[in-house]
Amino acid sequence: MDAKIDITNAILETERLILRPWKEADLQNFFEYASVDGVGQMAGWMPHKSIEESRGILSRFIAHKHTFALELKGNGIVIGSLGIESSERRQLPEPYASQTGRELGYVLSKDYWGRGLMTEAVQRVIPYCFEDCGCEFLTINYYQENRRSARVAEKNGFRLLLETPDYPTVFGKTTSCLTILEKREWENRSAKMSKPIIITGFQPFGGDTVNPSYEAVRLLPDAIGGFKIVKMELPVVFGKAAEKLLAAIETIHPAAVISVGQAGGRDAVTPELIAVNLMNARIPDNDGNQPLWEPISKDSADGIFTRLPVNDFVNAINAAGLPAKLSYSAGAYVCNDLFYRILNATKDSGLICGFIHVPFEKSQVADRPETPAMELADISKALEICLECLAKKL
């Protein structure tokens, strides 16, 4: 059963977009993206052949009052649409057939793919539908080969409800995937997402002028999987790094914490399985400290296992075509010191936290071509994948 929708007076904003009703003045922008090959096919329609075809569809958008224009902030260009469509055409099982809901349908200009803009728009429309329009559920339907649309649904918490093989389209048969998000699921997810995720990197050390751990962290989006991402740079100093992070944990009350450090010589991103109760510094830290064969905490366990889903991290990074391996040793330098102290200090609260090592980035080994390294963008992408994986489990 469809919830009533009328967006006539609705204007929604995100960090980069304004979602508003369509206007006749949007015709040229609409035709420009809707006429591009590859855009409409993902949603089941052919590219517009003329501006008159676009005009007719634009008129329906305006008359039906349930499709938002996506206006890019700063330049006023309309780059896509997001419709709150009827859900009644789907053969929904109970209890959904008796509840009020709607289906979200969206299209984005090809020039703006890969920037997270549609995920951002859908994230804003969801509370509008649940809180302002009385929806009890929302669905998103996509074709199996449309991975971009699938990612938008996944990132916003939609789960697979039905798969329909041999689904007929104007392009032939495919598998149709129907995903759903219930209001109660969204409310639970929103309550969890009110707490951010902290991710930390380190300052340069050992004579290097950069540290890829923090440089990669800096490149991360400010929100992932609906969670705000708090980025911190920590000193490469025994004890002090943990002090700074624990102070932030006390103030921010995060949902989870991931710390990242450089492991020069490794050829992959390596989530760490265990922290050991040992300080044994090959070189002095940035304050000149060089403890040798000393325990971090005399009265504590010899080792503490991570609370992060590290196997899932490795599998997800590898699935994206990037190198990752599980590591069974975080060493005995400041990285392990931070890892152990944070796990030990939060053992009673059970805060989800752990550590990931990353290799050198390419600029650090320009004069050492035999030394393993990764592109900084790939390191950051691997960390983003870990955060996405973690967000789904929180």
Q: Which one from 103, 120, 215, 272 is the annotated catalytic residue?
A: 272
Contacts of 243 (CB under 8 A, 6+ apart): none
The pLDDT assigned to 314 comes to: 98
Q: Annotated catalytic, 66? A: no
Give the containing element (helix H, strand E) for 215: helix 212-218
Contacts of 261 (CB under 8 A, 6+ apart): 201, 202, 213, 330, 334, 335, 338, 355, 356, 357, 358
- Whole-number percent of the chain with pLDDT over 70: 100
The pLDDT assigned to 385 comes to: 97
Q: Judge whether 220 and 199 are in contact, CB under 8 Å.
A: yes
Q: pTM score, two decimals?
A: 0.66
% helix / strand / coil in the chain, to the nearest 5?
Answer: 35, 25, 40
DSSP 98: G
The pLDDT assigned to 38 comes to: 82
Q: Beta-carbon neighbour count of residue 148 at 10 Å?
A: 13
Who has greater pLDDT, 258 or 369? 258
- Please check the confidence at residue 312 and state whether its pLDDT lies above 80: yes
Q: Which one from 133, 135, 177, 335 is the annotated catalytic residue?
A: 335
Q: Which of 144-148, 207-211, 281-285 has the weakest average pLDDT?
A: 144-148
- Please check the confidence at residue 89 and state whether its pLDDT lies above 80: no
Select the CATH number that applies to the domain covering 195-393 from these four: 3.40.50.1820, 3.90.550.10, 3.40.50.2300, 3.40.630.20: 3.40.630.20
Of the candidates 246, 266, 251, 262, the residue with the CA atom closest to the CA atom of residue 324:
266
DSSP 5: -
Q: Using pLDDT thresholds of 50, 70 and 90, give the confidence band for residue 241.
A: very high
Q: 152-196 pLDDT, tens per residue? A: 999 898 999 999 898 887 778 889 899 999 999 999 888 777 899
Structure-token match 């950051």, residue found: 380
The pLDDT assigned to 369 comes to: 85
The pLDDT assigned to 10 comes to: 96
Averaged pLDDT for residues 202-207? 96
Of the candidates 353, 385, 390, the residue with the CA atom closest to the CA atom of residue 245:
353
Q: 28-74 pLDDT, tens per residue? A: 999 999 999 988 877 778 889 999 999 999 999 999 999 999 999 98
The pLDDT assigned to 169 comes to: 79
The pLDDT assigned to 206 comes to: 93
The pLDDT assigned to 348 comes to: 94
Average pLDDT, the chain: 94
**Separation CA 73–CA 143 (nearest Å):** 30
The pLDDT assigned to 382 comes to: 98
Q: Using pLDDT thresholds of 50, 70 and 90, give the confidence band for residue 93.
A: confident
- Quick one: CA torsion of 338, 339, 340, 344, rounded to 10 degrees? 100
Of the candidates 300, 357, 290, the residue with the CA atom closest to the CA atom of residue 330:
357
Averaged pLDDT for residues 246-269? 97
Averaged pLDDT for residues 280-305? 97
Averaged pLDDT for residues 228-254? 97
- In the chain, where do the E strands start and end? 12-13, 17-21, 67-72, 78-85, 101-108, 137-143, 159-169, 172-182, 197-202, 223-224, 227-234, 256-262, 270-271, 274-276, 303-305, 352-358
The pLDDT assigned to 166 comes to: 87
Q: Which one from 357, 384, 386, 389 is the annotated catalytic residue?
A: 357
The pLDDT assigned to 170 comes to: 73
Q: Annotated catalytic, 129? A: no
- How far from 118 is each of 19, 20, 121, 122, 230, CA to CA, in Å? 11, 14, 5, 6, 22
- Please check the confidence at residue 289 and state whether its pLDDT lies above 90: yes
- Which superfamily, per CATH, for 12-190? Gcn5-related N-acetyltransferase (GNAT) (3.40.630.30)
**Separation CA 295–CA 293 (nearest Å):** 7
The pLDDT assigned to 371 comes to: 95
Spans of all domains in the chain = 12-190, 195-393
Averaged pLDDT for residues 131-136? 95
Same fold, 12-190 and 195-393: yes
Averaged pLDDT for residues 324-348? 98
